[in-house]
């Protein structure tokens, strides 16, 4: 079979059993390896869906410009779609994102504006605000806004959820995913719970993010917001893609635990993945221990992206040592 373009290769990523990092826990833990998408992340799925829907609604015309705020991976997916469909791209990102992500976006022909991390979301310097302003200033541009664009979670309802159900032959008991824009966890959770309402959905959050308190109390508390280094999960806003009614638990994971698990997954399982993947696996195993999951449980954990984005950070001993993340 010959695909018509690279974007036809998006999706249908494999499930891979974790063998060593589970440290003898009796349940089956299967990782959905999303770095095997052509843009090396799960965000390829939403990039294609958001642009398909925008074209259908006439929100972007031929030769137009896609403008998006991204921690890197959604930008990569959008850049692939743009290359195939003839659009230009401008991305805003934050100064906490790895240099590799910025370089990769520029390699695909995108213009990248790097904005400060530690400002309020409505600050005119924030990457949300800069993307919004550019989309208003540039003619024939489209701002997908992955945070509030419900095509994001619809992509996972239509693809990720059904793939997990089919690949586990309907035996999945627990679904675990990091919470960033909220689309991955919400879209797949909705599909899986429609098939079996007993499937438990566990969101993984970063220490320093608002999601855990929001899930537990319904309150958006800015006081929860603190700096952290894990990229792609956790928020200082509540995106429209988040639906807390579909969640059964939220587990917070700190940077050190996330990054040490990331490196274990590479060295012990051969899975060269990013920091939010390590956070997801660490949080999943913590939940499994605390809830005494057994041999009849089948937990699927999303591994969103590739380690190629983090060679200068998580996979760099000097960087890890400088931040106190290495146990010598």
DSSP assignment letter at 72: S
Confidence grade of residue 99 (pLDDT, cut at 50, 70, 90):
confident
Rounded Cα distance, 43 and 77, in Å: 6
Per-chain mean pLDDT for the chain: 96
Could you write out the DSSP letters of every residue in 99-128?
HHHHHHHHHTT-EEEEE-SSS-TTSTTSHH
Residue 328 in this model has a pLDDT that exceeds 80: no
What is the side-by-side strand order in the sheet with 111-115?
Answer: 111-115, 88-94, 65-69, 141-142
In the numeric block, which tokens belong to residue 64? Answer: 């137009």
According to DSSP, the residues that pair with 178 across neighbouring strands are 204
Rounded Cα distance, 49 and 52, in Å: 5
Residues marked active site are found at: 43
Which percentage of the chain shows pLDDT scores above 90?
94
> For 137-196, what is each residue's pLDDT tens digit?
999 999 999 999 999 999 999 999 999 999 999 999 999 999 999 999 999 999 999 999
pLDDT of residue 96: 84
pLDDT of residue 116: 92
pLDDT of residue 123: 92
Burial-class residue 294 by CB neighbours within 10 Å (0-12, 13-18, 19+): exposed
More confident residue, 98 or 214: 214
Give start-end residues of each CATH 3.40.50.1100 domain in the chain. 6-36+159-322, 43-142
Confidence grade of residue 121 (pLDDT, cut at 50, 70, 90):
confident
The answer to which of 71-75, 112-116, 225-229, 294-298 has the lowest mean pLDDT is: 71-75
Q: What is the CATH number of domain 43-142?
A: 3.40.50.1100
Rounded Cα distance, 235 and 224, in Å: 10
DSSP assignment letter at 306: B
Residue 200 in this model has a pLDDT that exceeds 80: yes
**If you average pLDDT over residues 115-141, what whole number do you get?**
92
For tokens 């879209």, name the residue.
187
Question: What CATH class does 6-36+159-322 carry?
Answer: alpha beta
pLDDT of residue 75: 94
Polymer length in residues for the chain = 328
State the CB neighbour count (10 A cutoff) for residue 311.
14
Confidence grade of residue 18 (pLDDT, cut at 50, 70, 90):
very high
């Amino acid at each position: 079979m010959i695909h018509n373009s690279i974007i036809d290769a998006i999706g249908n990523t494999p499930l891979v059993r974790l063998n060593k990092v589970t440290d003898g826990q009796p349940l089956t833990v299967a990782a959905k390896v999303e770095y095997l998408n052509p843009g090396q992340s799960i965000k390829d799925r939403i990039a294609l869906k958001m642009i398909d829907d925008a074209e259908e609604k006439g929100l972007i015309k031929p030769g137009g410009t896609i403008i998006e705020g991204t921690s890197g991976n959604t930008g990569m997916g959008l850049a692939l779609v743009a290359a195939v469909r003839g659009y230009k791209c401008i991305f805003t990102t934050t100064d906490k994102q790895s240099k590799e992500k910025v370089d990769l976006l520029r390699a695909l022909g995108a213009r990248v504006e790097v904005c400060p991390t530690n400002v309020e979301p409505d600050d005119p310097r924030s990457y949300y605000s800069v993307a919004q302003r550019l989309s208003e200033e540039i003619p024939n541009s489209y701002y997908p806004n992955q945070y509030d664009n419900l095509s994001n979670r619809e992509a996972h309802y239509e693809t990720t959820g059904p793939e997990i159900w089919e690949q586990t032959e309907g035996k999945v008991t627990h679904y675990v995913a990091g919470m960033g824009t909220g689309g991955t966890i919400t879209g797949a959770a909705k599909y899986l719970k429609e098939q079996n309402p007993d499937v438990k959905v566990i969101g993984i959050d970063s220490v320093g993010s608002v999601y855990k308190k929001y899930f537990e109390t319904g309150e958006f508390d800015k006081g929860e917001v603190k700096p952290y280094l894990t990229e792609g999960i956790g928020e200082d806003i509540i995106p429209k893609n988040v639906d807390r009614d579909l969640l059964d638990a939220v587990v917070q994971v700190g940077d050190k635990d996330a990054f040490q698990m990331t490196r274990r997954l590479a060295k012990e399982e051969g899975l060269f993945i990013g920091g939010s993947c390590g956070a997801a696996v660490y949080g999943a195993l913590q939940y499994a221990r605390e809830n005494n999951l057994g041999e009849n449980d089948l937990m699927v954990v999303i591994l969103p992206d590739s380690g190629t984005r983090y060679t200068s950070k998580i996979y760099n001993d000097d960087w890890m040592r400088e931040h106190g993340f290495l146990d010598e």
